[in-house]
A = this chain, B = another copy of it.
Amino acid sequence: MAENRVQHDHDQAELLPCVVDLYGGVSVNMEKPMDSTVFAPLLQASISQWREQGKKGIWIKLPIEQANLVEVAVKQGFRYHHAEPDYLMLVFWIPETTDTIPANASHRVGIGAFVMNSQREVLVVQENSGKFKGTSVWKLPTGVVDEGEDICPAAIREVKEETGIDTEFVEVLAFRQSHKSFFRKSDLFFVCLLRPHSFDIQKQDREIEAAKWMPIEDYAAQPFIRGHEIFNYIAKICIAKSEGEDYAGFVPLSTKTASGKTSYLYFNGDLKNQLISDNQKQKMPM
C-alpha cells in the first residue's frame, strides 16, 4: 500500500502541471524553459492520464521562448488554436465526439470618422500607402481599433492622430461586415459621427499625404465614391444625418459588468434618456 502511494506520487511528478477548466478540459502553461527531449515523454504520459480521466479539450500555451516545444506538441496530435506576438496556443481534443473548442478571434474592427463643421464641410484625408496611395481619392479618416480599445475612443484617437482635430463621439451611423479582408479574417467597420471641437488641421506625415475640410456634396460626388455601392450608401447616410436630426444612429452607454469591467452598449439614441431614467428609478428605494 505504502509502496503504491510512493509509486503514485512518483507518477504525478512525471506529468505536466495543469489546471482544469469549466468545460471538462485542462490547460498547461509552459512558462519555464524545457528541453524538447524532456517535454516529449512528459506530454505523452500526461495525455494518457487525461484520456483515462475523461478530459476533453487540452490546451498548451507555449511562450515564444519555448518555440523548441512546438514540433513535439504537433507530433503528439495538437493543432494550433491561436497565436499572439509572444505565445502560441495549441489544443488537442481527446474524445471521439465532435469538438466544442471555441473558435479563434475572427474579426478585425475598424472605424471611419464622419466629422463635419458648421459650413457642411467634412474632414477628409488622402493616404500615402496601401490601396488608396496615389489615387487622389479624398476619404474619411479610418483606422483599426486596437486590442482592448473601445470603438468610441478609437474613433476620436484616429481623427486626432491623422488630422490633429479634437472631437467628441456622437454615435455609430452604420456598420459593415466583410469577409476575407485580411488573411482569412473578417472585418467589422463602424461609421462614426464625431463633433469637432477644433478646426485647424495638423496632418500626420507618416500615413497621411493630405488632409482638408471638403464640402460634403463634393466628397459624395467623387467618382470613386459614386462608383462603389457601399461608399455611396455611406455617403448618403452621412448626408441624411447632416441634413437633419431624423436619422438616429446608435449611441454608446457605458455600463459595468458583474466583474467591474466597463462595457459599452450601443443602441438607438432616441431611447437613451428613457433607459437611463428607468434605471435610476429602479435603483431608488420604493
Binding site for B on A (CB under 8 A): 22-23, 64, 67-68, 70-71, 74-75, 79-89, 102-109, 129-131, 144-148, 150-151, 173-180, 182-186, 188, 226, 228-230, 232-234, 236-237, 240, 246-250, 253, 255-258, 261, 263-268, 270-271, 274-275, 278-279, 282
* Given A147-B184, A234-B265, A105-B102 contact (CB < 8 Å): no
| Chain B residues in 8 Å Cβ range of A183 | 82, 89
Picked from B70, B178, B188, the residue with its CB within 8 Å of the CB of A257 is B178
State the copy count for this chain. 2
Q: Can you identify 15 A-B contacts, CB atoms within 8 angstroms?
A: A68-B71, A80-B86, A82-B183, A83-B104, A103-B144, A104-B147, A105-B106, A105-B108, A106-B145, A107-B109, A147-B186, A176-B265, A178-B257, A237-B267, A248-B248
CB-based contact B89/A85 at 8 Å: no
CA distance A35 to B72 in the complex (A): 15
Main secondary structure of the interface of A (DSSP, over half): mixed
Which of B87, B106, B233 interacts with A279 by CB under 8 Å?
Answer: B233
Q: Which chain B residue has the least Cβ–Cβ distance from A145?
A: B106
Contact A79 B86 (CB under 8 A): yes
Q: Which residues of B contact A182 (CB under 8 A)?
A: 102, 105
How long is the Cα–Cα vector from A13 to B75 in the complex, in angstroms? 31
A sample of 9 more A-B contacts (CB under 8 A), given A81-B83, A229-B257, is A70-B71, A79-B86, A80-B83, A148-B179, A174-B266, A177-B263, A237-B267, A240-B274, A249-B268
Whether B237 pairs with A271 at a CB distance below 8 angstroms is yes
